[in-house]
Structure 1
């Protein structure tokens, strides 16, 4: 049995136009790196280490984006994205795979499973931020310091 551990950024209580991002990652160091990237972008976020609760958390909080590891205990990220895409409340939420699987075949399989984009570990934090910017571009009003739509 796996324990669920999750936390939400301090900005949770603010009603703002900042995007809410759900990050699902079972390694604490990777989760810390993702939370740092999200904080630097000015995003609100929920970090979670349990794949089994991902669909329930996504249904409850309706994040604007999900960052999902593939190699998770319990259900794999591929299983989770399939569940998300089958649920009416979560089927339109974009999902980015953040994974150690780096071959061309892995990438094709992951994108075919329903992910909107893919980044392989190890990655540069700037690359993750750029991918988040692309996926969320034009959907939110951000503070000028966190302008996400840059040419």
Structure 2
């Protein structure tokens, strides 16, 4: 419960989740992966946007400032690492947590993802519980 100060000066206790539902941006070039992640996020009572396009991802990040990004790394045109670099170099969006959701499993690939600016990663295929745990870890205030 959170104590909120109302406009009229009164106070009331309220669940933060009743006021704001986090927005998660899902970026993956596979429609099945987009659908799966969106179902998990919806079941958590959070809002989501999904895109299969790196350029669209960047437009949505700039316009909507999502609370978290789930980002596939291997994508056409603009790959996930390029998206991460762009986000991390842009002051007003550089704080957004990014979780790589990838089929890359070699230690050197994972190191490259983390060094590139990702906060965390999930290896495909992943368990629902693992995705939920990562989302809650980075959105712990929601």
Moved over 6 A (4+): none
In structure 2, the residue matched to 1:51 is: 54
- What are the Cα deviations for residues 65-117 of structure 1, in whole angstroms up to 9, with x where unaligned? 00000001111100000001111221010000000001111111100000000
1:118 aligns with 2:121: yes
From 91, 101, 106, the counterpart of 2:104: 101
Secondary structure of the equivalent of 2:126? coil
Deviation at 1:61, TM superposition (A): 0.4
Gaps of 5+ in 2: 1-17
- What are the Cα deviations for residues 24-57 of structure 1, in whole angstroms up to 9, with x where unaligned? 0110000011001101111100001101121221
**Structure-1 separation of matches of 2:71 and 2:25:** 8
Q: CA RMSD in A?
A: 1.1
**Structure-2 separation of matches of 1:53 and 1:34:** 18
Q: Which is higher, the Rg of structure 1 or of structure 2?
A: 2
**Structure-2 separation of matches of 1:31 and 1:128:** 13
In structure 2, the residue matched to 1:12 is: none
Gaps of 5+ in 1: 1-14, 141-151
In structure 1, the residue matched to 2:90 is: 87
In the superposition, the TM-score normalised over structure 1's length comes to: 0.80
In the TM superposition, 1:59-78 aligns within 5 A as 59-78=62-81
Secondary structure of the equivalent of 1:22? strand
Point out the structure with the larger strand share.
Answer: 2
In the superposition, the TM-score normalised over structure 2's length comes to: 0.85
Count of residues paired in the alignment: 125
Deviation at 1:127, TM superposition (A): 0.6
1:42 aligns with 2:45: yes
Deviation at 1:125, TM superposition (A): 1.2
